[in-house]
């Protein structure tokens, strides 16, 4: 059974190609910074958007048909999604997928039945994986959709809800390990608050950390050697979410002794919702040794919510890849946590969307490699801090001076000269020059 029979295998044809079903920039074999793009760019398909989301929004119902010929909410449909998903990934040369527990199977009233379904479906996926190089990038538990999680999961005021969340995390970890997952994600969708009037923030944060510690202990006990990730997001659905941005999440992990097992999964549109650029949250993660994985998408700066669009902005993709290359690559990958726009409701659109996303990130990586090779930006930054290489600057860096000595130095010196120009406009022109030469 083929779901996408009219769509060919997507091949690299180069920038001159006008074939809508070909890559223009993503040449898997092209070497960038010493490695082929297929290794530099472990792309992943998001099960929920690609095989699940059908266009429903706050004002209207589905526009796309993602029944794959079956009745939705059945195990037959869940298996048809596996078949469609694998056909889709194979046609695009995508080697990873990411899932929530309830993306894979319909949730039953009784968790024992949901878990039985997860066992059955993950067996089915394992069968499908045979003879392919497709694997799980990361798994997660959906602890935000069901009404029981209205006040959070780890942060819920209800100990019973906490237990239910723990049960879901345990099973999602089992399935992640079974499917060869590189990572396990905590996205604290409802770990936050609507009002401080009813919220004990310290208590809630301690409980979230407890749940994470329990997950680490269990994960390691069943042989999970990958990274756990926090995926920061400042708001939506909650008014305030505790994992506000990378800096906040890293502080939380350190405070509760979780920083050895966790890294960041940075999503572009979440960073911009926090008032940062995508590059900012990547940089903050990287300098703290915590850049793990990326949820690849982009937001719409004219809208105040998470639009999860496929990446199209080459500047942002270039600066993203600049951070990734500087950090020595990702231990995770690039998961397209992105969805086609509601009026793009056909199967062809799903392919166009992934071609766009993969080409944008490939182009970004090629250009970031050229920026690094060009060297003008790195050299500028290096020179900008040159006053710390010798003399008093070197002593400050080495921790060899007291405040008193610095004050005495300043007395001798008089007023310092202005620091060198920031040259922002020049550096921006260098970026354009590398992008468009």
Q: Is 267 in the site for Co ion (CB under 5 A)?
A: yes
Report whether 58 contacts 237 (CB < 8 A): no
Q: Is 272 in the site for ligand XUL (CB under 6 A)?
A: no
**Interface pick for Co ion out of 243, 245, 295, 309 (rule CB under 5 A):** 295
Pick 243 or 295: Cβ nearer Co ion: 295
* Length, in residues, of the chain: 437
**Of these partners, ligand XUL, Co ion, none, which one is at the site of residue 185 (CB under 5 to 8 Å by kind)?**
ligand XUL
Question: Mask: binding to ligand XUL, 185-204, rule CB under 6 A, as x and -?
Answer: x-x-----------------
Q: Is 309 in the site for ligand XUL (CB under 6 A)?
A: no
What is each CA distance from 24 to 298, 371, 411, in whole angstroms?
A: 20, 20, 61
DSSP three-state, residue 127? helix
Pick 309 or 337: Cβ nearer Co ion: 337
Tell me how many residues contact ligand XUL (CB under 6 A): 10
- C-alpha to C-alpha distance for 120 and 118, rounded to whole angstroms: 5
**Interface pick for ligand XUL out of 115, 122, 140, 272 (rule CB under 6 A):** 140
Can you point out the beta strands (E) in 160-244?
A: 183-186, 192-193, 227-230, 240-241
103 classed as catalytic: yes
Pick 233 or 367: Cβ nearer Co ion: 233
Crossing angle, helix 424-436 and helix 347-374, to 10 degrees? 120
User: Minimum Å distance from CB 195 to ligand XUL?
Assistant: 22
- Active-site residue (options: 103, 295, 306, 359): 103
Q: Name the one range near Co ion by CB under 5 A: 53-61, 122-130, 160-168, 337-345.
A: 337-345
**Of these partners, ligand XUL, Co ion, none, which one is at the site of residue 233 (CB under 5 to 8 Å by kind)?**
ligand XUL
Q: How far apart are the first and last CA of the chain?
A: 46
Report whether 242 contacts 191 (CB < 8 A): yes
What sign for the dihedral angle of Cα 232, 235, 236, 238? positive
- C-alpha to C-alpha distance for 432 and 271, rounded to whole angstroms: 24
Crossing angle, helix 347-374 and helix 376-384, to 10 degrees? 60
CA dihedral 121, 94, 264, 226 (to 10 degrees): 60
Q: Is 231 in the site for ligand XUL (CB under 6 A)?
A: yes
Pick 28 or 299: Cβ nearer ligand XUL: 299
Pick 204 or 337: Cβ nearer ligand XUL: 337
119 classed as catalytic: no
User: Minimum Å distance from CB 186 to ligand XUL?
Assistant: 8
- C-alpha to C-alpha distance for 143 and 231, rounded to whole angstroms: 14
- C-alpha to C-alpha distance for 212 and 225, rounded to whole angstroms: 15
Q: Is 182 in the site for ligand XUL (CB under 6 A)?
A: no
**Of these partners, Co ion, ligand XUL, none, which one is at the site of residue 358 (CB under 5 to 8 Å by kind)?**
none
User: Minimum Å distance from CB 337 to Co ion?
Assistant: 4
Q: Name the one range near Co ion by CB under 5 A: 87-95, 114-122, 235-243, 262-270.
A: 262-270
Q: Write the DSSP assignment of 218-236 as a string of letters.
A: HHHHTT--SEEEE---SSS
Please identify which residue in the block is written with the tokens 């048809």: 80
Residues near ligand XUL (CB under 6 A) are: 100, 140, 185, 187, 231, 233, 267, 295, 306, 337
Q: Which residues belong to the active site?
A: 100, 103
């Amino acid at each position: 059974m083929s779901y996408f029979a009219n769509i060919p295998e997507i091949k690299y044809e180069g920038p001159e190609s006008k074939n809508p079903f070909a890559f223009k920039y993503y040449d898997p074999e092209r070497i960038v910074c010493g490695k082929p793009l297929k290794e530099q760019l472990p792309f992943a398909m998001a099960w929920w958007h690609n095989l699940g989301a059908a266009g429903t929004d706050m004002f209207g119902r589905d526009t796309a048909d993602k029944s794959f010929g079956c009745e939705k909410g059945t195990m037959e449909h869940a298996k048809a999604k596996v078949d469609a998903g694998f056909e889709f990934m194979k046609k695009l040369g995508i080697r990873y997928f990411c899932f929530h527990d309830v993306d894979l199977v319909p949730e039953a009233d009784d968790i024992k039945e949901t878990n039985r379904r997860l066992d059955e479906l993950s067996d089915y996926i394992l069968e499908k994986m045979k003879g392919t190089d497709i694997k799980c990038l990361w798994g997660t538990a959906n602890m935000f959709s069901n009404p029981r999680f209205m006040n959070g999961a780890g942060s819920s005021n209800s100990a019973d809800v906490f237990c239910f969340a723990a049960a879901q995390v345990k099973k999602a970890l089992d399935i992640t390990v079974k499917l060869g997952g590189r990572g396990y994600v905590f996205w604290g969708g409802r770990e936050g608050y609507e009002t401080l009037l009813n919220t004990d923030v310290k208590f809630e944060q301690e409980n979230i950390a407890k749940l994470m510690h329990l997950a680490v202990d269990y994960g390691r006990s069943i042989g999970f050697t990958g990274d756990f990730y926090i995926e920061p997001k400042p708001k939506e659905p909650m008014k305030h979410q505790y994992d506000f941005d990378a800096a906040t999440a890293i502080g939380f992990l350190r405070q509760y002794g979780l920083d050895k097992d966790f890294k960041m999964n940075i999503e572009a549109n979440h960073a911009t919702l926090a008032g940062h650029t995508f590059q900012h949250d990547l940089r903050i993660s990287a300098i703290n040794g915590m850049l793990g994985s990326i949820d690849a998408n982009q937001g719409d700066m004219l809208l105040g919510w998470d639009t999860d669009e496929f990446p199209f902005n080459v500047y942002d993709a270039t600066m993203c890849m600049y951070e990734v290359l500087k950090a020595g690559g990702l231990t995770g990958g690039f998961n397209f946590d992105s969805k086609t726009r509601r009026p793009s409701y056909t199967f062809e659109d799903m392919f166009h969307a992934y071609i766009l996303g993969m080409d944008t990130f490939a182009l970004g990586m090629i250009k970031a490699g050229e920026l690094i090779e060009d060297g003008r930006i790195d050299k500028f930054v290096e020179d900008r801090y040159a006053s710390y290489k010798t003399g008093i600057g070197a002593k400050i860096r080495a921790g060899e001076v007291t405040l008193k000595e610095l004050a005495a130095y300043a007395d001798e010196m008089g007023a310092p000269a202005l620091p060198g120009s920031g040259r922002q406009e020049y550096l921006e022109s260098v970026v354009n020059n590398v992008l468009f030469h």
